Amino acid sequence: MTKAAVDPCIFVILGASGDLTRRKLLPALLRLNAKGMAPDKLIVLGTARTADFDDAAFRADARRSLQSAGMSSEEMSHWCDECLHFLQMSKGDSDDYRRLATCIEQLEREHGTPANRAFYLALPPRAFPSAIEGLGEAGLNRSSGWTRLVIEKPFGRDLKSAQELNALVHRYYNEAQVYRIDHYLGKETVQNLLVFRFANPIFETIWNRDRVESVQITVAETVGIEGRAGYYEESGVLRDMVQNHLTQLLAVVAMEVPSAFKANAIRNEKMKVLDSISPIHPNDAVFGQYIEGMVDGIPVPAYRQEPKVRPDSQTATYAALRLEIANWRWQGVPFLLRTGKRLAKRITQIAVSFRCPPVALFRPNPCPEIQPNVLVITIQPDEGFDLSFEVKVPGDMRLQRQSLDFRYGEVFSDIPEAYETLLLDIVTGDQTLFVRADLVETSWHLYSHLLENPPGLHLYTSGTWGPSAADALIKKHGTKWLPE
């Protein structure tokens, strides 16, 4: 990360007593400060309904969280004392938001900072509308400096709710002020995918239907719902992972070369990809739900045995989908998406399988069928790239599969966490890695039919790669899931 121009500002976290603030936001802000990337004058103002919080309690809670994240005590204590403040907003009504406006102005006077403000909604999705309206009605949607609104996913729960939320946002904020955050887009490997494609013509020239057989995108988790039944029962895998994370990854893989490396140029090309996706046929979707099994050698319960999950729940924890992009570059190339909980391994990767040679030159020899070259882009863990290819075994006309690989951790000692990248982009005003309103709505539109008419549910054993129906889905295209 290089030092960008960072204006002094106040960073307001609505919902500062929550897990997101403790585990992600405060550690990311402190790491940016330690690297000299944060504003020289950064005020962090937390707000929450928590009755027993004040400045001292907020700072003490932050110290505990930061210590758990491995921060040094001296650096941490100084930063907490200098930067952190707290305001209780017990009711979340118009009076609370007027008090928030007064508190912000007072802190800006005390610290001598201009009126540059970022408002981060670290809140449950149901609280987004009231918070947006509260900020807007209190005049906190504008200032003499800059004002930015940051909204966590999920942005809506279907097309209609996303459109309503966008309309509410745009009542108070213009699109240039809005940062819809998808933390997957902040990962270094996702960002580097643009460089990998567009700075290396050797790959860009074969990145099309003439050379690519299929594209797989896998986001696999070994964890269950982690006590979030209240959220997950209403969400399910399609809303939780597919509509946002996997669809954004697909757009980055499939987009055309942008006219410039600028936010709207890149987002325009991503929008063209989503616009070109054909309607998803019901036979090209497999939904599943995990039952009891073993994960990492530990027995785990079925989804329906999780606390607060309905015993007859039909909520999907797994999805495998086949998508087609009806444009000149990708016509006829299947994009195969897979995600689920309680799977065999935690991994996020993109696998691009290239077409086999058109002539079976080596078939008369006693060697297996030639396998396709595959480029595997691993986003987490162990970020990097692997390119597989065939070589001849010395002394015999037999083929053996080998690979070239690159690992970020072996070359770069300091890989920023996704929230570091995204928070820095917020305070510097770079929207490249954030999701625009039209992208959100088009993404929801893609999956509307599956949300309204979900396919039948297939049960799968925890610790496996999902239901057998997903294997049958991909076999139709003469390939198999990677990793196996």
Among residues 245, 281, 449, 458, the one annotated as catalytic is 245
Determine the Cα–Cα distance for residues 449 and 442; give it in Å rounded to an integer: 13
Q: Is 422 in a helix, a strand, or coil? A: helix
Q: Is 449 helix (H, G, I), strand (E, B) or coil?
A: helix
Euclidean distance between CA atoms 189 and 193, whole angstroms: 6
Chain CA centroid to CA 173, Å = 23
Given phi > 0 = left and psi -120 to 50 = alpha, else beta, which region is 310? Answer: beta
Give the integer Cα–Cα distance in Å for 462 and 388: 30
Burial class, 426, CB count within 10 angstroms (exposed 0-12 / middle 13-18 / buried 19+) = buried
- Smallest Cα–Cα separation from 161: which of 124, 132, 128, 137? 128
Query: Would you say 133 and 110 are in contact if contact means Cβ atoms under 8 Å apart?
Result: no
Closest CA to 188 of 440, 430, 414, 436: 414
Rg (the chain; Cα; Å): 24
| Crossing angle (nearest 10°) for helices 26-34 and 55-68 | 80
175 vs 434: CA distance, rounded Å: 11
- Hey, is 369 helix, strand or coil? coil
Fill in the DSSP letter of residue 183.
Answer: G
Active site residue 245: yes
Whether residue 311 has a cis bond before it, omega within 30° of 0 = no
Give the active site residues.
245
